[in-house]
Amino acid sequence: MSSSIMVTGTAGFIGFHTALALLKKGKTVIGVDNLNPYYSVKLKEDRLRLLQAYPNFHFHKVDLSDQEAMARIWQSHAPILQVIHLGAQAGVRFSLVDPFPYITSNIMGFMVILELCRHQPNFQHLVYASTSSVYGTNKEIPFREDQRVDSPMSLYAATKRSNELMAQSYHHLYALPVTGLRFFTVYGPWGRPDMSAFKFMKAMLAGEPIDIYNHGKMARDYTYIDDIVAGILGALIHPPKSTKDQLHPIYNLGNNHSESLMDFIETLEKELNITAMKNFLPLQDGDVPATAADISAAARDFGYSPSTRISEGVARLVAWYKEYNELQ
């Protein structure tokens, strides 16, 4: 009997692209998402519509924290021997507004996934999404996986660090083959409307000013979605050895090159042929001035090699944004 791959958060930005890549490879994908209204449900449905064109895609609208529903889905598609867990309540700033969904989705949801995986005979690999936000107040750039991550600056970051600790306990107790991936500022087509690039484009095209925090003195390791997906799939086929006395692997997935926020905005201006009106503001609560990823471990262990330059990635993003919103 052939096995299926479960991808959680398949209506989300990274989950959609990951599921699509697997479907194109002929894999059977079990998609799970609760389609919550944190941002446009229509956008999520449009993503799903593309995935549902593949006969090897099976979608279930369910909340990850619903233990009984998740168990039924798991049994109906058995055996599920690989899981890519990307479903979570996203957004650093929203966690300051409404913290409770972060506990339900990011903590309880992950707990359900861990339990399903550990009870599955011959389970092969759980790959889950963490975030660069776990580095918090760390001042040493670039961020390395062996640095301390005990000073999160938002509840979102705290829940993701909690996921890493939960995964470690299951790796130790049950020899669960599990790998964590810390994503760095992922962008690209089909991205979330609450992400800065989309806020900038929307405001610029409407002739409105854009808010620029920390007075523009920001830098991010902007990572194009195709490179992130390549890293996820690379990690998936390289499960760790199931030894209880070792830490489970956690990898940075970034672009290996930090860009200033002002340079990113300038690239957007060039692609849109619009000079943005700029509203400079102080640093926001929960935000950090700079991120940069040391990706040498991922490069060594599964050949991670991001190749999309910021100019190329932004051009693709703008082209998709105009097409999707019928602005051509």
Active site residues: 156
Which tokens go with 204? Answer: 């610029």
**In the chain, alpha helices (H):** 13-24, 41-51, 67-76, 94-97, 100-101, 109-118, 155-174, 196-205, 225-236, 261-272, 296-302, 310-324
Give the Cα separation of 313 and 222 in Å (integer).
9
Query: Are 261 and 218 in contact, with CB atoms under 8 Å apart?
Result: yes
- Burial code (b: 16+ CB inside 10 Å, e: under 16) for 147-180 equals eebeebbbbbbbbbbbbbebbbebbeebebbbbb
Give the Cα separation of 196 and 262 in Å (integer).
12
